Structure 1
Amino acid sequence: MGGMRLDNSYARLPPRFYARLDATPVAQPRLLKLNARLAAEMGLDPAWLASDAGVAVLAGNAAPEGAEPLAQAYAGHQFGGFVPSLGDGRALLLGEVLAPDGRRLDLALKGSGPTPFSRRGDGRAALGPVLREYVVSESMHAFGIPTTRALAAVATGEWVMREDALPGAVLARVAASHIRVGTFQYFAAREDLEGVRALADHAIARHDPAAAEDPEPYAAFLRGVAERQADLVAAWMAVGFVHGVMNTDNCTVSGETIDYGPCAFLDAYHPAAVFSSIDHGGRYAFAQQPRIALWNLTRLAECLLPLLAAEEQPAIAKASAALDAFAPRFNARWREALRRKLGLMERDDALADALLQAMAENEADFTRTFRRLDGDARAEFRDPAAFDAWAEGWRARVAAEGMDPAARRAMMQAASPARIPRNHQVERALAAAAQGDMAPFETLLAALEHPFDDDPRFAAFEQAPRREERVTATFCGT
């Protein structure tokens, strides 16, 4: 088939790594949104993707040349409880696009029908969660944060049954890979050492080729995953992102954000903020995210122990040494982000922590407070005097450093977006899309395309939500 050609290196791994099957065709595929810019980056022709032939591929009704569709097997700790067999229950990896810049990019379909891993599910996706993942993942990319990306959203012309009948859709998702901590757990739980080794070698070739030359390649790989996760979580927190479901099957070895189910961005700041309707204990709260990332990495390390050394204690020592990279790396990245958000030349952790504490006590909006620090941030505080008390020390510190005011302001604005995909705005756009009106979704996407730029056209998207509009609970789209 013309227009797209794929490879699939994952399909060359042993058959126990996946289940081969085709997507289940949909009744009336209709393109809702195509990411033309991403398509061009991948070396794909946007015009062809928007054609009937291209939409058929994006919906799962046809397979492009070189595609070897498969559902990947993986396990995972879900809210701390281990499930030994999960896998792609409603997704298929079609293969990999070889981009002009040399990158190998997974192309997967989400909502493409049942698989052997569906666990009695229908394998379909509703329109709302598909468009939510589209807008939030593309926002993350605009923030400069590693993430899976949305190539296209296609309506299926069918209904999916959840609590109610909802319009169906398929998301075409692009990733550096879909290898997760849970993928390693799948083989480790079965005491399949050769499976763990084959997966590690594949992941090293894909993500850490330099580790293959290291005297201890598997330790180098683990250290690389830990560093990428440290960078990722710090970047999330710098924009107030709460992932919501940091299970090990949603923790990628590539360091990309994956799974935009019950996620949300902070409105009023609080370190214990948790939005997922099923996270009753606050396991994945905002400030818990670095601890959980390290917990997930420890599960990966357990899988790799037999590859690190023949004896258990030396293997544990090597794993611990690799994981020791996480905490200082995270702390450095998080504190550096706060330094830039405060417009300082040198870190001042006490000053940053004092602001965060005052914000939590005063229900100050996370995004607006940092964006307006050198303007009207005091208006974000329930008690503006609390901001004034903090700001006195901040202004004295800024004056003592003597940075050029224009340069300082530019640094601060490059570290703190003016606009984020606030939950109430996203929900409003999705509700309109469910009624056939994509205009609010398009406007929201446009507002978030350059989130660090001041743009009067999108001033409405910079407003804080009314108290009743603040995000309090989000739901998994499954």
Structure 2
Amino acid sequence: MAFPLQGDDAARRTPPSEISNPYWVAFSKSCAELINIPVANNDLPTDHKWLELLAGNSLETEFHQFSNPLATAYSGHQFGVWAGQLGDGRAILLGDIASQELQLKGAGKTAYSRMGDGRAVLRSSIREFLCSEAMHALGIPTSRALAVVGSKMSVMRETRETAAVCARVAPSFIRIGHFEHYSSLENTGRLKELADDLIEKHYPECHNSIEPYLELFKSMSNKNATLVAKWQAVGFCHGVLNSDNISVLGLTIDYGPFGFLDQFQIDHICNHSDHSGRYAFHRQPQIMHWNMACLASAMLPLVELNHSSVEAQELLKSALESFPIIFAEEWQKGFRDKLGLQTAEEMDIRLIERLLQLMHDSGVDYTSLFRSLGDIDKDAAVVNISLRDHFIDRGTIDLWLQDYLARLSRESVDDETRQALMNTVNPKYVLRNHLAQRAIELAQQDDFSEVHKLLKILSNPFGEQPEHHQYSQAPADHVRAIPVSCSS
């Protein structure tokens, strides 16, 4: 079974609850290929039983049977406060398929639903589906989305909406909250089971270490440091970086009130429920580091198996100090790549920081600006560079452009090669909120064409796709501030 821990204290058998008259909203052929599901010419599974299975109405297809669906227990910190036991409140793990785990989100109540109904709505399911697949195409580690199945069954949120189930795929859905759960219960046996399984299946390089649990922590911390650096580079805001939403594999999971930056604000808050700005864009690295500290605390009993308490704390503290180092290295590399710099100079960091400050001051569109940098030639005259028109302080951006051109002149690659490389790291297309909202509004009228269209466009984010150029444009003022919250 996919989840390594057996017993009611770890997970409860939870068959999905049926939805009425299910229908396809969206299906990812790319994700289907990952888990070896045959797909017909209409980009849907050849086996029609997949619709009923992904709706939660069945547990088998022609070649697959999931006999032990589970919801798992975990705990965690939410908005910096210990929340105690949480668990899979609306996610049900069906089981393994082609070395991946298949999970249904919104398939009904579980033992951990608390006051919730265990359901997801069409709106949030479409957002998660599209962003999961978009992030994968951007090269950012993420859970995948196989499908969205809809129903006219009513679900109450802020208003009455219709139900949907999002099928998610990942090598593992274990999160920091699983470690925190057993640590809070002082159950070192369960902690050891969890860690040993992760080492066996996902971190085999830790197996022969004289400090396997310390090395496991380092590996998980480093993966998440790299992940958040990639978020910052592409302008992605997660929105709810609670410790129970952080993957032990360094994957982006639990898409809720996320958002890609439009007008650049370094302190942008994408979740309107985040009143203190805890999870603002510029704080994401700091918060991820804080979450790694939570993981270190949870794993302390494992390191104490071979060390005194004081020694174990010092070892984990030292390991935790590598997070900002790894993050800085990845962040600097990511932004050098975005600026087309193949070599490293000390002045590069200041050059990057100056650009970001200028973008913040002028509210420049994040994705479009970096994409347009690839159009600049080394020998261009500053006054002929069109992107300067997006900045309020023309004199200051001109000074930056002079320094940037001087920096490019010290690179050995020609303009054509550099520009091609830049266009492989600076996407033209991201899932902007107004695009997702338009697809949702049409889907709520039973028109799923825009969902399908966005999936196709976002599967090739670095391509020019001139026929879809309007999808790369910054949003108009009247659709820029679309609110998203934890129910999104």
TM-score bracket for this pair, using the shorter chain length: over 0.9
Aligned mates of 2:75, 2:145 — CA distance in 1: 24
* Structure 1 counterpart of 2:342: 345
8 Å CA contact 2:235, 2:260 repeated in 1: yes
Alignment of 1:317-466 (within 5 A): 317-347=314-344, 348-373=348-373, 374-375=375-376, 376-466=386-476
Opposite residue 76 of structure 2, the aligned amino acid is G
Counterpart mapping for 1:219-234 below 5 A: 219-234=214-229
Q: TM-score, normalised by structure 2?
A: 0.93
Amino acid at match of 2:245: N
Q: CA deviation at 1:9?
A: 3.4
What are the Cα deviations for residues 266-286 of structure 1, in whole angstroms up to 9, with x where unaligned?
A: 011121111101111111111
Tell me, yes or no, if structure 1 residue 25 matches structure 2 residue 15.
Answer: no
| Deviation >4 Å, runs of 4+ | none
User: What amino acid does structure 2 have at the position aligned with 1:41?
Assistant: L
The CA deviation at 1:323 is 1.5
**2:312 paired with 1:302:** no
CA contact (8 A) 1:264 1:471 kept: no
Q: Counterpart amino acid of 1:163?
A: E
Q: Which residue of 2 aligns with 1:258?
A: 253
Specify the SS of the correspondent of 2:410: helix
Structure 1 CA distance for aligned equivalents of residues 395 and 142 of structure 2: 39
Kindly state the Cα deviation for residue 51 of structure 1 after the two structures are TM-superposed: 4.2
Equivalent residue number for residue 91 of structure 1: 91
1:21–1:401 CA distance, 2 compared to 1 (3 A): closer
**Contact in 2 for aligned 1:275/1:472 (Cα 8 Å):** no
Aligned residue among 49, 62, 67 for 2:58: 62
Which residue does 1:468 correspond to in 2? 478
Question: Is the CA contact 1:267–1:471 (under 8 Å) kept in the aligned structure 2?
Answer: no
Deviations 1:28-61 (A, max 9, x none): 1112212122212211223484644111111111
Alpha-carbon shift at residue 137 of structure 1 (Å): 0.8
Query: SS at the partner of 2:114?
Result: coil
Partner of 2:33: 40
* 2:276 matched residue in structure 1: 281
Q: Please tell me whether the aligned partners of residues 73 and 181 of structure 2 are also in contact (alpha carbons under 8 angstroms).
A: yes
Q: Deviations over 1:154-198 (max 9, x none)?
A: 012311111221111101100121111111111111111111111
* Amino acid across the alignment from 1:256: L
- CA offsets per residue over residues 194-217 of structure 1, 9 Å max, x none? 111111112222221121211110
Matched AA of 1:429: A
Q: Of residues 262, 265, 282 in structure 2, which corresponds to 1:267?
A: 262
Q: State percent identity of aligned pairs.
A: 39
Deviation at 1:319, TM superposition (A): 0.7
Provide closer, same or farther for how the CA distance between residues 385 and 440 of structure 1 changes in structure 2, counting only shifts above 3 A: farther
Contact persistence 1:345–1:401 (CA under 8 A): yes
Question: What SS is found at the alignment partner of 1:9?
Answer: coil
User: Take 1:153 and 1:231, find their aligned partners in 2: how far apart are those partners?
Assistant: 29
Structure 1 portions without partners, runs of 5+: 1-7, 99-103
Other-structure match for 1:5? none
Letter aligned with residue 465 of structure 2: D
Confirm or deny: 8 A CA contact 1:275 1:471 kept in the other structure: no
Q: Residues 429 and 438 of structure 1 are in contact (CA less than 8 Å); yes or no, is this contact kept in structure 2? A: yes
SS of the aligned residue for 1:213 comes to coil
Residue 24 of structure 1 aligns to which amino acid in structure 2?
A: S
| CA–CA distance in structure 1, aligned partners of residues 351 and 480 of structure 2 | 27
Displacement after TM superposition at 1:397 (Å): 1.2
- Tell me if the contact between 2:73 and 2:87 (Cα under 8 Å) persists in the aligned partners: yes
Deviations, residues 64-89 of structure 1 (Å, cap 9, x unaligned): 31431010111110100111111011
Alignment coverage as a number of residue pairs: 466
- Offset of residue 458 of structure 1: 1.0
**1:148-159 counterparts in 2 under 5 A?**
148-159=143-154
For 2:424, what is the secondary structure of its paired residue?
helix
Query: 1:90 touches 1:112 (CA, 8 Å); kept in 2?
Result: yes
The residue number in structure 2 matching 1:316 is 313
The aligned counterpart of 1:53 is 49
Listed as ranges, the gaps of 5+ residues in structure 2 are: 377-385
Q: Is the 8 A contact 1:157 1:167 kept in 2?
A: yes
Write the distance in 1 (CA, Å) between the matches of 2:425 and 2:30.
24
Q: Deviations over 1:239-261 (max 9, x none)?
A: 10000000001000011000110
Q: Decide which moves more: 439-448 or 89-98.
A: 439-448
Deviation at 1:464, TM superposition (A): 1.2
Instruction: Give 2:121's aligned residue.
Output: 126
Give 1:466 shift. 2.0
2:6 aligned with 1:13: yes
Residue type at the aligned position of 1:207? H
State which of 135, 156, 161 in structure 1 corresponds to 2:130: 135
Equivalent residue for 1:105?
100
| Amino acid in structure 1 at the alignment position of 2:479 | E
Q: CA deviation at 1:12?
A: 5.2
Whichever residue aligns with residue 433 of structure 1, its letter is A
2: distance between equivalents of 1:66 and 1:127?
25
Amino acid paired to 2:292 = L
**3-state DSSP of counterpart to 1:82:** strand
Contact 2:121 2:161 in 1 (8 A): yes
- 1:348-370 Cα deviation digits (max 9, x unpaired): 11111111111111111111111
Take 1:50 and 1:384, find their aligned partners in 2: how far apart are those partners?
58
Counterpart of 1:3 in structure 2 is: none
Q: RMSD across aligned C-alpha pairs, in angstroms?
A: 1.5
CA distance in 1, matches of 2:387, 2:254: 33
Mapped to 1, the partners of 2:395 and 2:436 lie a distance apart of 33
Instruction: Please say if 1:209 is aligned against 2:219.
Output: no
Q: Secondary structure at the match of 2:52?
A: helix
Offset from partner CA, 1:89-117 (integer Å, 9 cap, x none): 1110000112xxxxx21100000000111
In structure 1, what is the equivalent of residue 381 of structure 2? none
Q: Distance in 1 between matches of 2:137 and 2:317?
A: 34
